[in-house]
Each structure stands twice: as C-alpha cells, then as structure tokens.
Amino acid sequence: MKKLICAEDIETLYKEGKQCLTVTKQTIITPSAKDLAEEYNIVFQMQTDSVRTTNPAAYETISKEGLVSLLRQLLNDAGIDGFSDVPFAYEKHRSGLKVVKGSTVKLKPLNLDNSRVRYQELITPAESRFSCGIMEIDDSCFYDDKTLESFNYIIEGELQLTIDGTTYTATKGDTIFIPENQAISWSTPNKVTILCGKLKGVGKE
C-alpha cells in the first residue's frame, strides 16, 4: 500500500530535530511536503539505498485532485460515501481552464415541486462571461413564463417546446436558441438531457 507524506509529517520531523526520512518507491510525497522539506533541509532516503537525495521530485507526487481521488477511493473501500454532496468532479488550471468529469455530474431538482426536472450548473458566472449547466427532464414538463436568453444543445432524447400555441421538436444533436422574456412550455414524452448556457448578465430584470 502506498504511503502518503504530507506537509504535517515534515513539520513533525522538523520539530523532532530529524533531518532524514526513509521512503520507498511506493511513497507519495505531496507538493507542499516537498517544498517544506527543502525549506527545512530535510532529505529523503530510499529504504533499499543508503544514498541520500535532496531532490524529492525523484519520487511520485500527487496533486490536490489526486488526493481527493485517493481519499474518495479509501472512503468507498470502507463503505463510506463521504462525497455525496459534491455535485461533480473536475480539474482546473490556474488560468481558469476547467475539465468537468461528465460521468460524475449529480443533478438536483430544479424546484421542490417537480423532482423529474433536474439541473446542475457546471460553469458559473463568477468563472466566465457565461454560465453553463446540464438539465434533465424525465417524462415531465415545466412552464417558464419569462425566459432567459440562452442556447440549449440536446445531448440525448427528445424535447418539445411550445410557444404561442406552436410546438417545436428538437432531438439529439439539435441546438435551440431561446430569446428572453418569452413564455415557453418545455416537455418530453420520455427523457431528455440538455446542455444549457446563457451569457453573464443576460436575464430577468
């Protein structure tokens, strides 16, 4: 089993006056632990090799996302669902680039009155000039009497939109533009999954 070395472990070694830590090829050293070890001049020594190194990068490191994944796996192995409240897993670069793991997205009811219409925002207005999310309608419908200007892409299924007494049908691969301040009924005879997006600041007054 892999052993995880974090910044707290390095801090403990420093307080104990130790300047060497024995590791193996299975040892995982977090980036913060590497930095702190260099600051305290603590070296890492392979268990099978007496040669010391001040280059912790020679060992396997783990990112924040990796730590979350490792903890999730440990909890799952123990039969504990500690991440039930996390709506989805993602990776994000400091530039703002974000990769959402689609298979992990957990949809929530759009309102308490209808659990068959579910939604989860993936990109927030705080992150970008537009917001984006996934909506799922399961053998149901809902009425929006004052729409937001938006685009909607049908991922799976069939969607029926009724406006001014006219019904339009969109299926997998179709893109729908919704103008603002309209009254539209959304419905599906089975189940439909939609990618929804709108520009930041565009919406109801």
CATH number of residue 150's parent domain: 2.60.120.10
What is the C-alpha to C-alpha distance for residues 25 and 59, in angstroms, rounded to an integer? 7
Residue-wise pLDDT for 22-50, tens only, equals 888 778 888 778 888 887 788 888 775 44
Q: Is residue 91 part of a domain?
A: no
Quote the domain boundaries for residue 112: 106-199
Q: Is residue 99 part of a domain?
A: no
- Answer yes or no: do 132 and 188 share one domain: yes
Helix (H, G, I), strand (E, B) or coil at 204: coil
- Answer yes or no: do 75 and 130 share one domain: no
User: So what's the pLDDT on residue 51?
Assistant: 44
Q: Could you tell me the pLDDT band of residue 10, with boundaries at 50, 70 and 90?
A: confident
Q: Are 120 and 196 in contact (CB under 8 A)?
A: no
Q: Is residue 55 part of a domain?
A: yes
* Total structural domains within the chain: 2
What is the C-alpha to C-alpha distance for residues 187 and 191, in angstroms, rounded to an integer? 9
Neighbours of 191 (CB within 10 A): 14
What is the C-alpha to C-alpha distance for residues 161 and 174, in angstroms, rounded to an integer? 13
Q: Is residue 138 part of a domain?
A: yes
CB contact set of 31 (below 8 Å; sequence gap of 6+):
61, 63
- Answer yes or no: do 113 and 194 share one domain: yes
DSSP assigned state of 102:
G
Residue-wise pLDDT for 94-108, tens only, equals 888 999 998 889 999
Q: Are 114 and 140 in contact (CB under 8 A)?
A: yes
Domain boundary among 54, 85, 116: 85
- For residue 152, is pLDDT > 90? yes
- Answer yes or no: do 111 and 156 share one domain: yes
